[in-house]
Amino acid sequence: MNRKTFLFVGIVVALFIAAMAPFIASSNPDGLESAFFGIFGAKEIQGSTLDEEHAEVAEEHVTDITGNDFSFASPFPDYTIEGLAKFGETIAIILGTLLVLVIALGVAKMVQRTE
Amino acid sequence: MIIIIRTGESMHIPDAFIPLPQAALYWVIALIFIALSLRWARKELTEDRIPLVAILAAGIFAIQAINIPIPWGTSGHMMGAALAAIVLGSPFAAVFILTLVLIVQGVMFGDGGLTVMGANILNMGVIGGFVGFYSYRAIYPILRNIYPAAFIAGWLSLFIAALVTAVEMAIAGTFPLELGLLSMGLYHAIIGIIEGGITAVAIYLIHTARPDIISEPAGVPS
């Protein structure tokens, strides 16, 4: 497979994964969140139900502990686009994938030129 | 409040989990490794390898969006540091790629905090990359087979990064040390199977498509 074909196939595979992601991804809390909710009593460590009310209290509690209340409004929070449901997530993740691709190519070319 | 934390995905630490002075310290450590990774890029990124780096970065971003369910009402996703380090033959490749991925995730999608991004780069890029790369180098000569070695290296990279995260959480006062290590270890021992599996499969696919661009045999000098 030559370089151009490899790049093309690679991009197609990455975009395919991106497009599929919202449809197959689980909305369960991830490892770190699950540990957090377990430790703060919103969930059993080995249980599968999350107590939403407790979860909210826990999130306020942790900010009190660390004092870090920094917040930042990202343009597409949690890979969503306002007003668009699942389709928006697909677009958001595809956009992100392309953005990472372009930035990676750009940075790689840039550091090469500084040689 | 709920938005700030729920937007985190897998090992991505949200802002609220680490006090600012500690977050700043992790940024300093991360910046040192980012500088070293740029030096790696200048020296090692030949014209032939740039497409591979870009594809790995894009692919790792995409696959990190897929949270796979594991037991106990939990989910986890691929990190990709071991994959990047093994394929490109340097732990700094993982730092380079994961830094780009984490910047886009944090800034564009609120996935992982900004003040704590240094910690996330340190855990996923640096710890993930170094553990993945050096465990692969240690295991490959014993097994003499790329794929099981890559699987174990992937598993270890995620598991160790999770334990380091638990220690950081203990220093931050967010998790008690023992319970943090136990729960992070438990979940990520399972998520590591996903990491190891995808690492091995991706290396197989890249190896099949372009046997020439993976350092032979995939990261280990012969």
For the stretch A46-100, pLDDT in tens is 888 999 999 999 999 999 999 999 999 999 999 999 888 889 999 999 999 999 9
Q: What is the pLDDT of residue B12?
A: 93
Least confident of A79-88, B16-25, B148-157, B175-184: A79-88
Q: Which chain A residues touch B111 with a CB distance below 8 Å?
A: 78-79
Mean pLDDT of all residues in chain B? 92
Predicted confidence at residue A112, as pLDDT, reads 83
Q: Which residues of B touch A76 (CB under 8 A)?
A: 108-110
Alpha-carbon torsion, ordered A98, A99, A105, A110, to 10 deg:
170
Give the model's pLDDT for residue B215. 61
Q: How far apart are CA B75 and CA B13, in angstroms?
A: 15
Provide the CATH number for the domain around residue B31: 1.10.1760.20
B106 sits in which H/E element: helix B91-109
Q: Do B2 and A56 touch (CB under 8 A)?
A: yes
Q: What is the DSSP letter of A81?
A: B
Which band of pLDDT confidence, cut at 50, 70 and 90, is reported for residue B10?
low
Structure tokens at A86: 């699942």
Q: What is the pLDDT of residue A113?
A: 72
In a domain? residue B219: no
Interface contact A83, partner B, CB < 8 A = no
Determine, for residues B62 and A68 on separate chains, whether the beta-carbon distance falls below 8 Å: no
Q: pLDDT category, B216, cuts 50, 70, 90?
A: low
- When pLDDT is cut at 50, 70 and 90, the band that residue B138 belongs to is very high
- B95-114 residue pLDDT tens: 999 999 999 999 999 999 99
Residue B3 has pLDDT above 50, yes or no: no
DSSP sequence for B188-211: HHHHHHHHHHHHHHHHHHHHHH-T
> Packing angle between helix B146-172 and helix A31-39, nearest 10 degrees?
40
Examine residue B36 and state whether it is found in any structural domain, yes or no: yes
Q: Taking each helix axis from N to C terminus, what angle separates A52-66 and A31-39, rounded to the nearest 10 degrees?
A: 90
- The boundaries of the domain holding residue B150 are 14-209
**Predicted pLDDT at A85:** 84
Q: What mean pLDDT comes out for the span B157-186?
A: 97
Mean pLDDT of B119-148: 97
Q: With contacts defined as CB-CB under 8 Å, which chain A residues touch B166?
A: 35
Q: What is the pLDDT of residues B51-94, one digit of tens each?
A: 999 999 999 999 999 999 999 999 999 999 999 999 999 999 99
State yes or no: pLDDT of B34 exceeds 80: yes
- Contact of A69 with chain B, judged by CB distance below 8 Å, is answered with yes
How many other C-beta atoms can be found within 10 angstroms of the C-beta atom of residue B78?
A: 27
B-facing residues of A in 5-24 (CB < 8 A) are 6-7, 9-11, 13-15, 17-18, 20-22, 24
β-sheet bridge partners, residue A81: A84
**What is the total count of domains within chain B?**
1
Q: Which of B4, B54, B76 sits opposite A30 (nearest CB)?
A: B76
Lowest mean pLDDT among A22-31, A33-42, B6-15, B20-29: B6-15
Please report residues of B whose CB lies closer than 8 A to that of A3. Answer: 48, 51
pTM: 0.94
Does the CB of A57 have a partner CB in chain B at under 8 Å? no
Q: Does the pLDDT of residue B6 top 70, yes or no?
A: no
Looking at the complex, report in whole angstroms how far the Cα of residue A49 sits from the nearest Cα belonging to chain B: 7
Task: Look at residue B104 and tell me if it is in a domain.
Answer: yes
For residue B221, is it within any domain? no
B130 pLDDT band, cuts 50/70/90, is very high
Closest among B216, B186, B18, B173 to A34, alpha carbons compared: B186
Residue B2 in domain: no
Q: Specify the pLDDT at position B220.
A: 53
pLDDT band at B211 (very low <50, low <70, confident <90, very high): confident
Per the CB < 8 A criterion, the answer to whether B103 and B3 are in contact is: no
Query: What confidence category does residue B213 fall into, taking pLDDT thresholds of 50, 70 and 90?
Result: confident
CB contact under 8 A, B108 and A7: no
